[in-house]
Chains A and B, each alone.
Chain A
Amino acid sequence: MATIITTMKLLKFTRIVALLFIFHTVFSLFLIVSPTFNAGLLTSVYRKYLLPGPFFTKDRIEQSYSMLVSCKVGNTWLPVSQPALENYHRLMATGNPKAMLQTRLDRYFYYQYLIAKHKNPDVQINMEFEQMLNYYQNYFPVGTDSVKLIFVKKGTSDLAITVDTLYTIKHGVD
């Protein structure tokens, strides 16, 4: 008798879990086919933690931003370099995962600056700029007294490529 009761309880429990599972699957499918549906915290949590993706969204693949760096050592401006792109190329040439993380970190710092500048276009030197400059010190050769930073936006849409220089900033280095 006790075995039957235990089996019945297990069956009931299995059915409840199966129902929750079916609900999860159906709700996830609903969220996928209704990308604009928003019901507050539940949908936010679902989309962020239980439905990772989509990863190649339109805004991510149609534009990218670059930062070119030129350093002034003595009285000479050195040729421009792109640390983030160089690290990306190093990743593609060697497959070294450290270069993958490095290029992402390089980009993170200047993207933070671009976001802050976009929010407040009148302020050129802000906290994000100082932080970015501090981070990029490692890429500046010894004796650098000034740097020129050129921010470029590259867009691709309708089978055409556009390149725009957004800002050029000259700044002294401590």
Chain B
Amino acid sequence: MDEAARHKWNRAAAAYDRFATRAAERRWADYKRALFGNMSGRILFLAVGTGIDIAFFPPGQQIVGIDISEKMLERAKPRAAAYDGALELRQMDVHELDFPAARFDQIYTSCTFCSVSRPVEALKRLRRALRPGGELRMFEHTGSRWFPFNPMLHAMNPITRRLGPEVNRPTVENVRAAGFRVYRVVNHYLDIVKSIEAGND
């Protein structure tokens, strides 16, 4: 397990909801609801955190939610218990996914690959856990291709990575590098906050 990541997110768990849910989640609610509204079949939800995204899940789904931080999962438990469907929480590092190959029909992530230490390797693990023809749907923030945002994000990254996420990740390119076919990218704010839809073809 990536112990550095586990400790970082354990430390962040107490303040996470106060900082993340009040504004960012309200602002992104429509986008997340639309993306997660596509859920069907056997679903893996990556980095469930404190469970703030559970409110956007459509009812009646079969979902396994994983996170590297036990402190985050502890806070997610009441939200998971209130979900109108089957939602199992497990502590797991995405680099060490403990699922059989082709176990899931869909995999969802939410602001996850800003923090995963070896993103392409982790995406390859996800691809293995996804059945052929299965779908990867991600709500992520990434670096920007545009000046002046690109150098700004690179300049800020050494600070933000200490507090939590990295802000200059090339996540769309990483998804392709892991072997997925990216078939849709929708920018929600600049070319930074976006939904990525990819297939395991």
Q: Do A and B interact?
A: no
- Spell out B's residues near A (CB within 8 Å): none
Contact surface of A with B, Cβ cutoff 8 Å: none
